[in-house]
C-alpha cells in the first residue's frame, strides 16, 4: 500500500511538473506590436510546439486553418533547414482590414523581439487555400533565406529580389506536405511568370529553379545552398558581410547541386565576360563549394 501511494504521488507530481514546464514554455497571451506602422494589441489564439498564432481584434476568431498548416510548414522547415534560434516556434501574426501584404522578421532582429515572425494582412483569411497559403509560406521563405545555419542576411537578395527564392520554396513545401493540388496550381502559376531582371523576359522558375530542383536533388539541394554559404561565404561575425555577385551566385548553386550550372544560367539569364570572370574567381575564392565538375 505504501509503495502504491508513493507511486501515485510520484505520477501526480510528474504531471504537475510537466504542466508547469508547458506553462513556462507558453508564448505570451498578448503581444503589443511596435514595428513599422503596426500598433495592434494582438491576442494569441493558438500555439503548439511549432507555432504561435496571433490575431488582431478584427480577425474572425473562428478561422483556424492556419494553426495546423503553419505548424506543419515550420516543422518541415526545421527538418530540412535546421534550427532558427533557441525559440523553436514560428510566430504568425494575422490582420484583417489593415496592413496589406506581409513581412518577415527573424530571431536575429530586435524589431520583433528576436522571434521568427511572419506578419500578414489584410485578410480576411477565409479560404485557407490558394493565395492565403501562398502569402504565409512566402514569408516563411524569407525567414529561411535570412537566418539559415546561424548566419544573418541573404547575400542573394539583390539578385533574386523579393520573390524568386520564395517561388521554389513554396513549391517544395506543398510537395513536401503532400499537398498535390496546391503544388500543381502553384507550379503552373509560376512557370508562366517572367521578370525583367537580370534581363527582359527572364523566367526564373521555369529556367532556373525548377530545372535545378527537378534534376539535381530537390529539397536537399535547396538546403545545400544555404549550408555552403554559411561555411564559405564572407562573414562579419554572425552576419554575411556583403552580397553575392552573379558569378558567385552561380558558383554556390553549382556547389549545392553538385553540377556545373553555367550552361543553365546562360539559358536562364544570359552570360557575360564579367560574370564569367566572377565565376572563375569564385571557384578560387570559395573552394569549399567546388563540389561540381569545372
Per-residue confidence (pLDDT) for residue 13, from 0 to 100: 42
Report, as ranges of residue numbers, the positions in the chain whose pLDDT lies below 50: 1-21
Long-range contacts of residues 251-254, Cβ cutoff 8 Å, at least 24 apart: 251/279, 251/282, 251/283, 251/286, 251/289, 252/225, 252/228, 252/282, 252/286, 252/289, 253/212, 253/225, 254/289, 254/292
- The DSSP code for 209 is I
Report DSSP state, residue 27: P
Cα–Cα–Cα angle for 69, 185, 95, nearest 5°? 45
Q: How many beta carbons lie within 10 A of that of residue 66, not counting itself?
A: 23
Q: In angstroms, rounded to a whole number, what is the distance separating the alpha carbons of residues 262 and 251?
A: 8
Here the cell at position 28 is 505570451
In angstroms, the CA 203 to CA 223 distance is: 22
For residues 82 and 21, is the Cβ–Cβ distance under 8 A?
no
Q: How far apart are CA 20 and CA 32, in angstroms?
A: 25
Q: Are 98 and 122 in contact (CB under 8 A)?
A: yes
Distance in angstroms (rounded) separating the CA atoms of residues 63 and 128: 9
Domains and CATH numbers, the chain: 24-150 (3.30.2010.30)
Q: Is-above-0.85 flag for pTM?
A: yes
**DSSP-based three-state secondary structure for 23:** helix
Terminal-residue alpha carbon distance, the chain: 76
Burial (Cβ within 10 Å: 0-12, 13-18, ≥19) of residue 233: buried
Amino acid at each position: 500500500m505504501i509503495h502504491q501511494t508513493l507511486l501515485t504521488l510520484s505520477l501526480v507530481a510528474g504531471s504537475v511538473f510537466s504542466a508547469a514546464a508547458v506553462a513556462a514554455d507558453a508564448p505570451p497571451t498578448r503581444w503589443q506590436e511596435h514595428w513599422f506602422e503596426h500598433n495592434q494589441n494582438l491576442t494569441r489564439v493558438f500555439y503548439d510546439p511549432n507555432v504561435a498564432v496571433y490575431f488582431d481584434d478584427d480577425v474572425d476568431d473562428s478561422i483556424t486553418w492556419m494553426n495546423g498548416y503553419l505548424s506543419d510548414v515550420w516543422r518541415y522547415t526545421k527538418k530540412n533547414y535546421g534550427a532558427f534560434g533557441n525559440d523553436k516556434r514560428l510566430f504568425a501574426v494575422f490582420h484583417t482590414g489593415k496592413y496589406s501584404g506581409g513581412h518577415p522578421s527573424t530571431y536575429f532582429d530586435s524589431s520583433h523581439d528576436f522571434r521568427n515572425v511572419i506578419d500578414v494582412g489584410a485578410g480576411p483569411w477565409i479560404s485557407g487555400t490558394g493565395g492565403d497559403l501562398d502569402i504565409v509560406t512566402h514569408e516563411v521563405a524569407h525567414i529561411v533565406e535570412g537566418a539559415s545555419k546561424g548566419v544573418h542576411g541573404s547575400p542573394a537578395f539583390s539578385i533574386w529580389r523579393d520573390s524568386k527564392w520564395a517561388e521554389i520554396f513554396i513549391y517544395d513545401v506543398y510537395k513536401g506536405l503532400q499537398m498535390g493540388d496546391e503544388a500543381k496550381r502553384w507550379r503552373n502559376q509560376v512557370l508562366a511568370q517572367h521578370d525583367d531582371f537580370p534581363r527582359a523576359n527572364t523566367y526564373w522558375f521555369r529556367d532556373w529553379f525548377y530545372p535545378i530542383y527537378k534534376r539535381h536533388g530537390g529539397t536537399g539541394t535547396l538546403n545545400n545552398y544555404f549550408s555552403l554559404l554559411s561555411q564559405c561565404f564572407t562573414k562579419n561575425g554572425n552576419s554575411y558581410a556583403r552580397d553575392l555577385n552573379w558569378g558567385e551566385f552561380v558558383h554556390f548553386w553549382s556547389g549545392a547541386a553538385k553540377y556545373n550550372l553555367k550552361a543553365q544560367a546562360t539559358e536562364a539569364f544570359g552570360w557575360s565576360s564579367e560574370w564569367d570572370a566572377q565565376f572563375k574567381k569564385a571557384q578560387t575564392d570559395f573552394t569549399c563549394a567546388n563540389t561540381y565538375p569545372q
